[in-house]
């Protein structure tokens, strides 16, 4: 895996067609699939015009996304990125021609978007591996579960304390 970098058209570890591109946005990572000649396929909000740094964030609220083919440099903007085929040791990548065919078939189509079950990482891993996976979603689900358990524990503790106070009077 290459280190994070700002966009550079000529870099020793330039992406290969079919590679997953992890783009580091403030507070989250956006994912795209490299299709060659400087272009990526990724999901953006349905109502979006030109690419924006918070494009995946807007999709969270619309529940829909648009599949676009854009220049990698435009999608990365001032952020950093890296090639990150992190699931290659777990899932066998599909043949590159199949990955690219599937990606290009979806260009200009509207697709469902959900932060926990159908986000930009799910989208690109489905194209590369034939399986939609997202470590970001797993982390979010774990965090939600922890917060829910903690809130339940505090509520129960508050209920027990209020009952013990009522008995004293």
Contact 63, 69 (CB under 8 A): no
Give catalytic residue positions.
30, 120
Q: In this structure, are residues 56 and 120 in contact, taking their beta carbons and an 8 Å threshold?
A: yes
CA gap 138, 124 in Å, rounded: 16
**Could you identify the residue written with the tokens 């330039």?**
14
* pLDDT attached to residue 104: 97
Give per-residue pLDDT as tens, 20-36: 999 999 988 999 999 99
Give the pLDDT score at 89: 95
Q: What is the pLDDT of residue 75?
A: 96
The CA R_g of the chain, rounded to the nearest whole Å, is 20
Question: Using an 8 Å Cβ cutoff, are 3 and 12 in contact?
Answer: no
Ranges of the chain whose pLDDT falls below 70: 1-13, 47-62, 116, 136-169
* Vertex 61: Cα angle to 55 and 67 (nearest 5): 45
Which among 72, 89, 85 is positioned nearest to 2, based on CA atoms? Answer: 85
Q: What is the pLDDT of residue 27?
A: 86
Q: What is the pTM of this model?
A: 0.70
């Amino acid at each position: 895996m290459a280190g994070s970098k700002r966009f550079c058209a000529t870099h020793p570890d330039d992406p290969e067609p079919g590679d997953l591109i992890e783009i580091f946005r403030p507070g989250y990572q956006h994912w795209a699939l490299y299709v060659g000649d400087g272009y990526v396929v990724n999901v953006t909000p349905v109502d979006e015009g030109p690419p924006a740094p918070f494009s995946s964030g807007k999709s969270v609220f619309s529940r829909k996304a648009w599949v676009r083919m854009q220049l990698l440099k435009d999608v990365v903007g001032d952020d950093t990125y890296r090639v990150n085929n992190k699931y290659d040791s777990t899932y066998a990548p599909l043949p590159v021609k199949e990955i690219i065919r599937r990606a290009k078939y979806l260009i200009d189509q509207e697709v469902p978007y959900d932060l926990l079950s159908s986000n930009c990482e799910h989208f690109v891993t489905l194209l590369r591996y034939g399986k939609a996976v997202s470590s970001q979603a797993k982390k979010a689900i774990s965090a939600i579960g922890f917060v829910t358990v903690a809130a339940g524990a505090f509520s129960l503790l508050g209920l027990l304390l209020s009952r013990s106070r009522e008995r004293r009077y």
